[in-house]
A = this chain, B = another copy of it.
């Protein structure tokens, strides 16, 4: 079977992954409405393509927090990559480096930060953090990440408790015994979400700031009010995200929330978005609506499930080619030419 578009990798993963792993990655909260809306919302946005512009020399590079990436698609933080491929996050790190883009490693990785770093020295990586009840655990993780050369700290804000994902409950999902949340070993027993601290507030940003010189990116913002608070509390970036529809169901699609957040932020910090990206043209829409870069979650896992590092590179290359082609067909030769004039938000 030819792997022509990202959906081909999804079909492959659904067919070949163990059901419990597929279900875990595919899961959305409750009725999965928001998970699916993330995709549908892109389809409601129409391009306004412009013709007869010189698109012979295409430049699709961009910068996020000062670092150049080869195109505006990074790897969102997702847990348990060994469920998709034996090498787990090491393959992810290698693929991201090979494609010159950014990989946000999750706290819930099945490889240590040290293994990830060693697998792909020099790659651009950010570290995703939950704040634990035991703040020393979080502090130690931040400092390990900084020491290992991670260049950004992504604080997940939308998981005071884990969303209700029905299939995981039915399956009694838990990590297979031979996989570990290696970054947390010794700190406490794995997979007990209740060790996350649901009392975290905006003031904890200041505490986090006191621990590290890394830029702080907050992930999980969906409203203008929270975007305003994020800027006020000094973050360097915002990832508009609904956790792939795995937390509160029936919140907004991320591409819809992006519009609101970008308007509130007014360029004071960089804004990114994840959720629902399946085609290069989705990336173009997100950038037209003000995102500096998008991050992919499930598509990266499908790539891993297909062929590890190579499969993820395939996924990234397809998105890269599609993004470049969409830009050209819309009349943009470089990322700087992308703007809101390119899209029309449907009345639907």
Instruction: Indicate whether A50 reaches chain B with its CB closer than 8 angstroms.
Output: yes
Asked whether any CB of chain B lies closer than 8 Å to the CB of A213, the reply is no
Chain A positions 144-170 with a Cβ under 8 Å from a chain B Cβ: 157-158, 160-161, 163-164, 166, 169-170
Give bound CA distance, A348 to B37, whole Å. Answer: 14
Instruction: Say if the beta carbon of A82 comes within 8 Å of chain B.
Output: no
Cα A204 to Cα B51 in complex, Å, equals: 12
Which residues from B are CB-within-8-Å of A205?
Answer: 52
Neighbouring B residues of A285 by C-beta, 8 Å = 250
A192 located at the interface, meaning its Cβ lies under 8 Å from any Cβ of chain B in the complex: no
- Cα distance A222–B163 when bound, in Å? 34
CB distance from A239 to the nearest CB of B (A): 12
Contact B55 A170 (CB under 8 A): no
Within 8 A of B (CB), among A303-348: 321-322, 325-326, 328-330, 344, 347-348
Q: Which B-chain residue is minimally distant from A47 (CB atoms)?
A: B251
Please measure, in the bound complex, the distance between the C-alpha atom of A266 and the C-alpha atom of B248, giving whole angstroms. 29
CB atoms of B52 and A326 under 8 A apart:
no
Find A347's partner among B45, B157, B344, B347 (CB 8 Å cutoff).
B347
User: Would you call A201 and B158 a contact (CB within 8 A)?
Assistant: no
Contact status B222-A52, CB under 8 Å: no
- Assess whether A220 is in contact with B56, with CB atoms less than 8 Å apart: no
Per-position binary interface string of chain A over residues 271-287, scored 1 when its CB falls under 8 Å from any chain B CB and 0 otherwise? 00000000101000100
Evaluate contact between A279 and B30: CB separation under 8 angstroms: yes
Q: A329 contacts B247, CB within 8 Å?
A: yes
Task: Known A4-B170, A157-B52, A160-B55; judge A251-B201 contact (CB<8 A).
Answer: no
Q: Are B56 and A326 in contact (CB under 8 A)?
A: no
Taking a contact as CB atoms under 8 Å apart, the answer to whether A200 and B54 are in contact is yes
Q: Which of A215-254 contact B (CB under 8 A)?
A: 218, 220-223, 225-226, 229, 247-252
A212 beta carbon closer than 8 Å to chain B: no
Which residues of B lie under 8 Å from residue A221 when comparing CB positions?
51
Chain B residues contacting A2 (CB-CB under 8 Å) are 169-170
Which residue from B45, B198, B223, B326 sits with its C-beta under 8 Å from A328?
B198
Contact call B344/A51, Cβ cutoff below 8 A: no
Shortest Cβ distance from A96 into chain B, in angstroms?
Answer: 24
Pair A52/B248 contact, Cβ less than 8 Å:
no
In the complex, the answer to whether A325 meets B163 with C-beta atoms within 8 Å is yes
Chain B residue nearest to A278 (CB atoms) is B31
Cβ-based interface call for A139 (8 A): no
**A residues whose Cβ falls under 8 Å from a Cβ of B:** 2, 4-5, 30-31, 33, 43, 45-56, 157-158, 160-161, 163-164, 166, 169-170, 197-202, 204-205, 218, 220-223, 225-226, 229, 247-252, 279, 281, 285, 321-322, 325-326, 328-330, 344, 347-348
